[in-house]
Structure 1
Amino acid sequence: MSVYDDKPWLAIYDEGQPTEITPEFGDALAMFAASVQRAPDADIIRYFDGRITLRELDELTDAFASGLLDGGFAAGDRVALYLQNVPQFVIGLLGTWKAGGIAVSINPMNRERELELLLNDSGAKVLVCLESLYRDVAAAVVGRTDVATVITTSELEYQSRNDQRVFAGVERISFDDTVDMAGLIERFRGRRPPAVSFTAEDTAFLTYTSGTTGPPKGAMNTHGNVVFNSQAYRQWCGLGPDDVVLGVAPLFHITGLIAHITISLLLGAPLVLFYRFEPSTAIDVIREERPTFTVGSITVFIALMNAPNADSDALASLSKIWSGGAPIPPSTVKAFSATFGQYIHNIYGLTETTSPSHGVPYHAEAPVDEASGALSVGVPIFNTVVRIVGDDGQDLPPGEIGEIVSTGPQIVSGYWNKPEETVKAIPGGALHTGDVGYMDAEGWFYIVDRKKDQINAGGYKVWPREVEDVLYEHDAVREAAVVGVPDEYRGETVKAYVSLRPGRSADEAELIAFCKERMAAYKYPRQIEFLDEIPKTVTGKLLRRELRARNQP
């Protein structure tokens, strides 16, 4: 079924009822080149007090690509980017494309075992990493991989402010067995690599799944995927060259890659980076740089609300806010709006959908399902068909809960060197997301939970999201995560992990009673454990697997 057929939400759009996006540029690199031609002297990266224009970024990436090629790099080779949110990530990404290669984004929180796995799986020939990450992690790993060249750099580059809240303890480190990135660029500055072009089917980068359901898999995000969803963000979120993009999501993640880097390259709009997210620093940066648009996990926005330097005017410029990657409690959206006067639009996608497949359109507000209390993740974006299917693979009608299956131009071509996994997850180009949800009669979609997270309490099915949403309604609760734990009588029972807001208090009996008053008897948590921080991935997804492991005998 297509949700574009006679659905009232189409009237939301200010500019008619778009049903097709035709890419203006052939690939992500050409997209950047067009922006350089339009406004070469416009800022494209702002990093504390540092500024890089489109012209300068073009020159830096030409030099980086020329250095790669001089070292024997060939078309189709992979460059692994093991970096925080620093300008060198963007330089490395574009430089890799200019050399005809494929970028591999790696979480800077990964340690030796994880880094070695991804380097070997991708077959990366070049590793670009922070000096501290080479010293602490990569130096012990690269000898067991195909990496032939390690290029190191520092988070202190491209700025001079050296804010000690951000850079405390950071110092420059030199190595005898690595290539300094700044020195490489200086050596090849002024040299242009041979022209390269890609087709829509060519892989732009490998982004590794979080591994919550098994070993990480390298999703092959193509240039066509990247160009399509960059333009989808532009139109869906009402963006133009006068916008300023705030980089709160990690750049290695699909959200950072598309909603920060490539949308900035498409628009020719500045991307504001500040190394890594710290709430007080983020608010200072927002006040100084006046960004207008961002996408981040809900934990980012919860942290901003609780920052000591937050006030009602702190986010005055940030009028276009979307959140994805983790469930959003409706109560948090209300609290954020009450604090800052800004509305958080929901957005939904996966690594395999190259960022969004659904979203709440700009100027619209997501409905809340009366029965479940869930906040809608939006409607499918342009050219995207989404089905809700049952266990038998058949389409389900509105209101029925099943697996979300998405088809569209943003769906990846497959997993790197994993044809069997590709056929299983993306048969015929239709992505079986593993997320469970439903569509209402108006075409709005709601996520219930991951299939594997469902709790079976004495034969009753409990979705953690529903319990978490109730907990978030308590004014002392900052974050909550719910899991099923072994129980002799019920098989499984409901346990909640909770962190409290600064200066607020609550005990286990109080929170259990709060939930008991608001939900069916089989759903409310029987156990509550308090933590300073709920374990999460770097992108804000709750690590329920880790919480469940704490309760195994």
Structure 2
Amino acid sequence: MNAYESRPWLAHYPSGLSEHLDVEFGSPLDMFDAALAAAPDGPAIRYFGATLSWADLDAASDALAHALQAHGFATGDRLGIAVQNGPSIVLGLLAAWKTGGVAALISPMYKRSEFRRALDDFTPSALLVLDNLHAEVADEIAVTGSIGLVITVSPLDFAGNDDIRRVFEVSRVPAAAGTVELLDLIATGSREVSRHVPAPDDVAVLAPTSGTTGPPKGAKLMHRNLAFSAQAYRDWTGLESGEPILCMSPVFHVTGLVGSVMLALSLRSPVILTHRFDAGLVLDAVRVWRPAFSVAAITAYIALADHPDASPDAFSSLRLRYSGGAPVPPEVADRVAERLGGMIHNVYGQTESTSPTHMVPPGVLAPVDPETGALSVGLPIFDTTARVVDENGDPVPPGTFGEIVTAGPQIAAGYWGQVDDGGSALMNGEMRTGDVGFMDADGWFYVIDRSNDLINASGYKIWPFEIEQVLQSHPAVRETAVVGIPDDYRGESTRAYVALQPGAEVSATELIEFCRKRMAAYKYPREIEIIGALPRSATGKVLRRELR
């Protein structure tokens, strides 16, 4: 038996948590039906001063489902959903599932060519899209030929006040020819639906991968994946039914989808939506609705901590704060925790793992590895196995770097439209994460870098994380990312991109010298460029490919 088969992480599970999860529901639609039956008039969504009940969601999603079926939408068809964090995305999910369809999530941040590629990949039969986005990509939609119904959504739909306009430049775009507005459809539509009962192994969502190393792919998340992961969040954190959930991550990405909307369904709790993340709007929502839980990229917490009105008192209700998407430097976690008055817990997973495979138990201070300075991403959760392997796929001893491989009930069935050619990250029920890290002797896991970010300089292997840790320790540095660049002499060399703290002043030459004094000669960056901010995906991951 190797170190991973003995599951040393189980010794750190909180009292009362079992290594096995008895999953209560077979699908998220089952979760919704249970919430509706328990309290039809109870709050389901909070959105800019308005509250939608479970009964409101049921009626509106029925009307949308009826319209889909009236336009020939059938079991297995895809409903493309390209909207931000508003009630419409939840309605789209429910309507797709009620009709036996699949919700194909499309980033509303896409530009024309990206949007067209998503349509070509997912071939949706119907599309739920932001009205302003539709105005930009209407011709791309028109030439696909497969879309029989286009429903437009305004960010102002369902809002109970005008606070959204304080931050976002939004206004209603007149309905284009050949489209129907969601609110009109709900107001005039029938609730007659030929209701489908999803099977646990039916595909529920096509979720775009993060696209940090190449074009996004659609991970096939099954109903049972979503039901398991939602309950895993619920039971691991110990949240109580009815406790509000703050959604700071995009729902069109797996973190917001599972860690906010699906969790709220499982808990029968209201989810708080703010269209997009803005620190001031989120702070207002926290003061009004008093959420208990949120999961978001560390950049969101940094923005909240930097807001002039932030204080521990303002965030006192938010007793459980989780961060995922990228490794969190310990000093950043400490600064944010001090400013907001509460501990930041790590959660780790991928789109293909339906969000969490590892989490830090609530109230537990995750260990920091003394050699690398990395903060642990947590322990494998219920029914989940994890191991670290070498380039041949063989397990490596604790403390040794390798690729993290995970397996469990949350792992996706594959990628939409792609035949398994043996090179997929999803093989035989396992997920090859592409993340380099290690497990310590006690069963805590650490993520160091992406395997394809390794830099080879004159035969020396350099992990960007090592340089970033040194730069992050400089008081003037707010955030940094390191990439490899071509070098005629060394093969590859290192370049660091640095964003400074507000008001800080330091030169690139001074930062290079700072690193040179603290690192081996082959490691320290030969070039440093000071920029305003690092390019990030919608979920907060640094887009190193853009820096390259």
Coarse TM-score class (shorter-chain normalised) = over 0.9
- How many angstroms apart in 2 are the aligned matches of 1:344 and 1:378? 12
- Equivalent residue, structure 2, for 1:414: 414
- Equivalent residue, structure 2, for 1:529: 529
- Equivalent residue, structure 2, for 1:551: none
* Alpha-carbon contact 2:9-2:379 (below 8 Å) kept: no
Instruction: Tell me the CA shift for residue 423 of structure 1.
Output: 6.3
Instruction: Tell me the CA shift for residue 490 of structure 1.
Output: 2.1
**2:194 aligned counterpart, secondary structure:** coil
The 5-angstrom pairing of residues 324-335 of structure 1 reads: 324-335=324-335
1:479 aligns with 2:454: no
- Equivalent residue, structure 2, for 1:183: 184
Instruction: Tell me the CA shift for residue 4 of structure 1.
Output: 7.1
- Equivalent residue, structure 1, for 2:116: 116
- How many angstroms apart in 1 are the aligned matches of 2:503 and 2:326? 25
Instruction: Tell me the CA shift for residue 204 of structure 1.
Output: 0.5
Instruction: Tell me the CA shift for residue 464 of structure 1.
Output: 1.0
- Equivalent residue, structure 2, for 1:518: 518
The CA deviation string for residues 216-246 of structure 1, in whole angstroms up to 9 with x for no partner, is: 2211000010000001000112212232111
- Equivalent residue, structure 1, for 2:169: 168
* Alpha-carbon contact 1:132-1:173 (below 8 Å) kept: no
Letter in 1 for 2:341: G
- Equivalent residue, structure 2, for 1:304: 304
Instruction: Tell me the CA shift for residue 422 of structure 1.
Output: 7.0
- How many angstroms apart in 2 are the aligned matches of 1:391 and 1:346? 27
- How many angstroms apart in 2 are the aligned matches of 1:357 and 1:419? 25
- Equivalent residue, structure 1, for 2:286: 286
> When the two structures are aligned, how many residues end up with a matched partner?
546
The CA deviation string for residues 137-179 of structure 1, in whole angstroms up to 9 with x for no partner, is: 2443332342121100110111132223233352342222101
- Equivalent residue, structure 1, for 2:453: 453
- Equivalent residue, structure 2, for 1:102: 102
Letter in 2 for 1:362: P
- Equivalent residue, structure 2, for 1:32: 32
Letter in 1 for 2:72: G
Residues 259, 6 of structure 1: alpha-carbon distance in 2 compared, 3 angstrom cutoff: closer
**1:424 aligned counterpart, secondary structure:** coil
**1:419 aligned counterpart, secondary structure:** coil
- Identify the range of structure 1 (498-507 vs 537-546) with the bigger mean alpha-carbon deviation: 498-507
Letter in 2 for 1:171: R
- How many angstroms apart in 2 are the aligned matches of 1:332 and 1:44? 33
- How many angstroms apart in 2 are the aligned matches of 1:515 and 1:40? 60
The CA deviation string for residues 290-338 of structure 1, in whole angstroms up to 9 with x for no partner, is: 1111111111111112223323423221110111111211110010111
- Identify the range of structure 1 (389-398 vs 133-142) with the bigger mean alpha-carbon deviation: 133-142
The 5-angstrom pairing of residues 389-428 of structure 1 reads: 389-421=389-421, 424-428=424-428
The CA deviation string for residues 392-436 of structure 1, in whole angstroms up to 9 with x for no partner, is: 111111111111111110000111121225763222111111111
The CA deviation string for residues 452-511 of structure 1, in whole angstroms up to 9 with x for no partner, is: 101112221111122222222222222211111122332222211111122222221332
Letter in 1 for 2:181: D
* Alpha-carbon contact 1:415-1:421 (below 8 Å) kept: no
5+ unaligned residues in a row in structure 2: which ranges? none
- How many angstroms apart in 2 are the aligned matches of 1:286 and 1:68? 36
The 5-angstrom pairing of residues 121-140 of structure 1 reads: 121-140=121-140
The 5-angstrom pairing of residues 122-521 of structure 1 reads: 122-163=122-163, 164-189=165-190, 191-421=191-421, 424-521=424-521
Aligned sequence identity (%): 45
Residues 39, 272 of structure 1: alpha-carbon distance in 2 compared, 3 angstrom cutoff: same
Letter in 1 for 2:274: F
- How many angstroms apart in 1 are the aligned matches of 2:260 and 2:56? 19
Letter in 1 for 2:89: F
Letter in 2 for 1:374: A
- How many angstroms apart in 2 are the aligned matches of 1:275 and 1:406? 33
Instruction: Tell me the CA shift for residue 9 of structure 1.
Output: 5.3
Letter in 2 for 1:377: V
- Equivalent residue, structure 2, for 1:5: 6
Letter in 1 for 2:278: E
RMSD across aligned positions (CA): 1.7
TM-score (norm 1): 0.95
- How many angstroms apart in 2 are the aligned matches of 1:284 and 1:296? 17
- How many angstroms apart in 2 are the aligned matches of 1:261 and 1:422? 34
Residues 5, 205 of structure 1: alpha-carbon distance in 2 compared, 3 angstrom cutoff: same
Letter in 1 for 2:537: T
Residues 438, 176 of structure 1: alpha-carbon distance in 2 compared, 3 angstrom cutoff: same
* Alpha-carbon contact 1:27-1:197 (below 8 Å) kept: no
- How many angstroms apart in 2 are the aligned matches of 1:532 and 1:229? 36
- How many angstroms apart in 1 are the aligned matches of 2:160 and 2:18? 45
Instruction: Tell me the CA shift for residue 534 of structure 1.
Output: 0.9
- Equivalent residue, structure 1, for 2:83: 83
- How many angstroms apart in 2 are the aligned matches of 1:309 and 1:460? 47
Letter in 2 for 1:250: P
- Identify the range of structure 1 (159-168 vs 100-109) with the bigger mean alpha-carbon deviation: 159-168
Instruction: Tell me the CA shift for residue 98 of structure 1.
Output: 0.6
Letter in 2 for 1:350: Q
**1:65 aligned counterpart, secondary structure:** helix
* Alpha-carbon contact 1:254-1:354 (below 8 Å) kept: yes
- Equivalent residue, structure 1, for 2:44: 44
5+ unaligned residues in a row in structure 1: which ranges? 549-553
Letter in 2 for 1:546: E
- Identify the range of structure 1 (37-46 vs 159-168) with the bigger mean alpha-carbon deviation: 159-168
Letter in 2 for 1:392: N
- How many angstroms apart in 2 are the aligned matches of 1:4 and 1:362? 25
* Alpha-carbon contact 1:105-1:206 (below 8 Å) kept: yes
- How many angstroms apart in 2 are the aligned matches of 1:211 and 1:341? 33
- How many angstroms apart in 2 are the aligned matches of 1:434 and 1:521? 28
- How many angstroms apart in 1 are the aligned matches of 2:177 and 2:131? 12
* Alpha-carbon contact 1:388-1:401 (below 8 Å) kept: yes
- How many angstroms apart in 1 are the aligned matches of 2:418 and 2:149? 26
**2:456 aligned counterpart, secondary structure:** strand
- How many angstroms apart in 1 are the aligned matches of 2:21 and 2:177? 50
- How many angstroms apart in 2 are the aligned matches of 1:314 and 1:478? 24
* Alpha-carbon contact 2:325-2:539 (below 8 Å) kept: yes
**1:538 aligned counterpart, secondary structure:** coil
Instruction: Tell me the CA shift for residue 210 of structure 1.
Output: 2.7
The CA deviation string for residues 90-148 of structure 1, in whole angstroms up to 9 with x for no partner, is: 01111110111000111111111111111111110111011100001244333234212
**2:259 aligned counterpart, secondary structure:** helix
Letter in 1 for 2:154: S
- How many angstroms apart in 1 are the aligned matches of 2:174 and 2:370? 57
- Identify the range of structure 1 (252-261 vs 298-307) with the bigger mean alpha-carbon deviation: 298-307
Letter in 1 for 2:538: V
Instruction: Tell me the CA shift for residue 546 of structure 1.
Output: 0.9
- How many angstroms apart in 1 are the aligned matches of 2:342 and 2:488? 47
- Identify the range of structure 1 (163-172 vs 77-86) with the bigger mean alpha-carbon deviation: 163-172
- How many angstroms apart in 1 are the aligned matches of 2:43 and 2:518? 51
* Alpha-carbon contact 2:400-2:439 (below 8 Å) kept: yes
Residues 289, 475 of structure 1: alpha-carbon distance in 2 compared, 3 angstrom cutoff: farther
Instruction: Tell me the CA shift for residue 10 of structure 1.
Output: 2.8
